[in-house]
């Protein structure tokens, strides 16, 4: 399971899966492909219950890590029992307030360090592709009038330019060739090739750029 905006190009994962299907099952045609993002907690166990000790009436259910069908049923039972003031033997296991100093602190620090590193790396990275070299159905970070921009040219040659600064916390987004999206490596926001928000936490679209500016 890869973190958004990290590792090898996303298209590689699709190609590997397609190769497996061809060699194992003899599948020769593929009409669609898609991927999803899933929330994962530090210890990989979902957070279900009061969000804090001081806000016990505000409850959360998240971090199902691909087990949403099972996790949401469990969440419903845990929340039902809490509302009805009934004891549940699993409440402490899934409590969002649980905390173990080791190794959870190390994982938390590691995650935050990676976010900071991605923020700085994105601002300093100068490996930009030439806009003239951009092929149809290809996206890349380019320079427009000396400024960094995200460029995507569709299959008909139409060009779409966006500001690569994520509208959530200011990290620099990366091109996802597999899904044709701009992905933020810091907090996982995903934007369409034209800048619209596909997945949060970002709420505002990427700013569109006019090539003449």
156 has pLDDT over 50: yes
Give the mean pLDDT of the chain. 84
- What is the predicted pLDDT for the residue at 1? 44
Go through the chain and tell me how many residues it has.
Answer: 213
Top-ranked range on mean pLDDT: pick from 70-79, 112-121, 123-132, 142-151: 70-79
30-48 per-position pLDDT tens digit = 888 887 778 888 888 999 9
161 or 188, which is more confident? 161
Assigned domain for 68 exists: no
Assigned domain for 139 exists: yes
12 or 1, which is more confident? 12
| Whole-number percent of the chain with pLDDT over 70 | 82
52-55 long-range contacts (CB < 8 A, ≥24 apart) are 52/96, 52/97, 53/97
* Residues pairing with 159 in the sheet: 153
User: Do residues 45 and 94 make contact, with C-beta atoms less than 8 angstroms apart?
Assistant: yes
Assigned domain for 169 exists: yes
168-187 per-position pLDDT tens digit = 999 999 999 889 999 998 88
Assigned domain for 204 exists: no
Assigned domain for 70 exists: no
DSSP state of 100: -
Location of structure tokens 């750029």: 209
Q: How many domains does the chain have?
A: 1
Q: Which two tokens stand for residue 186?
A: 């810091």
84 or 122, which is more confident? 84
Distance CA 209, CA 51 (A): 40
User: Phi-psi region for residue 86, left (φ > 0), alpha (ψ -120 to 50) or beta?
Assistant: beta
Q: What is the CATH number of the domain that holds 146?
A: 2.102.10.10
Instruction: Spell out the alpha helix ranges (H) of 101-163.
Output: 101-124
Assigned domain for 159 exists: yes
Assigned domain for 72 exists: no
Domain span including residue 146: 131-199
Taking CA atoms, 67 is separated from 48, 75, 94, 159, in Å, by 13, 12, 14, 39
Assigned domain for 28 exists: no
Q: Which region among 113-117, 151-155, 161-165 has the lowest average model confidence (pLDDT)?
A: 113-117
């Amino acid at each position: 399971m890869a973190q958004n905006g990290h590792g090898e190009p996303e298209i590689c994962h699709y190609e590997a899966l397609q190769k497996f299907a061809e060699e194992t099952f003899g599948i020769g045609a593929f009409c669609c492909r898609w991927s999803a993002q899933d929330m994962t907690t530090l210890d990989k166990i979902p957070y279900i219950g009061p969000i804090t000790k001081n806000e016990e009436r505000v409850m959360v259910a998240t971090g199902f890590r691909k087990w949403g069908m099972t996790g949401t049923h469990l969440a419903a039972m845990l929340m039902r029992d809490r509302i009805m003031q009934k004891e549940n033997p699993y409440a402490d296991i899934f409590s969002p307030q649980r905390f173990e100093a080791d190794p959870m602190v190390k994982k938390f620090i590691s995650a935050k360090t990676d976010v900071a590193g991605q923020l700085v790396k994105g601002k300093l990275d100068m490996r930009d592709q030439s806009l003239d070299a951009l092929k149809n159905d290809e996206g890349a970070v380019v320079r427009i009038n000396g400024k960094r921009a995200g460029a995507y040219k569709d299959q008909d040659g139409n060009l779409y330019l966006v500001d690569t600064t994520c509208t959530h916390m200011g990290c620099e987004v990366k091109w996802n060739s597999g899904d044709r999206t701009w992905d933020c490596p810091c907090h996982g926001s995903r934007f369409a090739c034209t800048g619209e928000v596909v997945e949060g936490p970002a709420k505002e679209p990427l700013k569109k750029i006019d090539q003449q500016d």
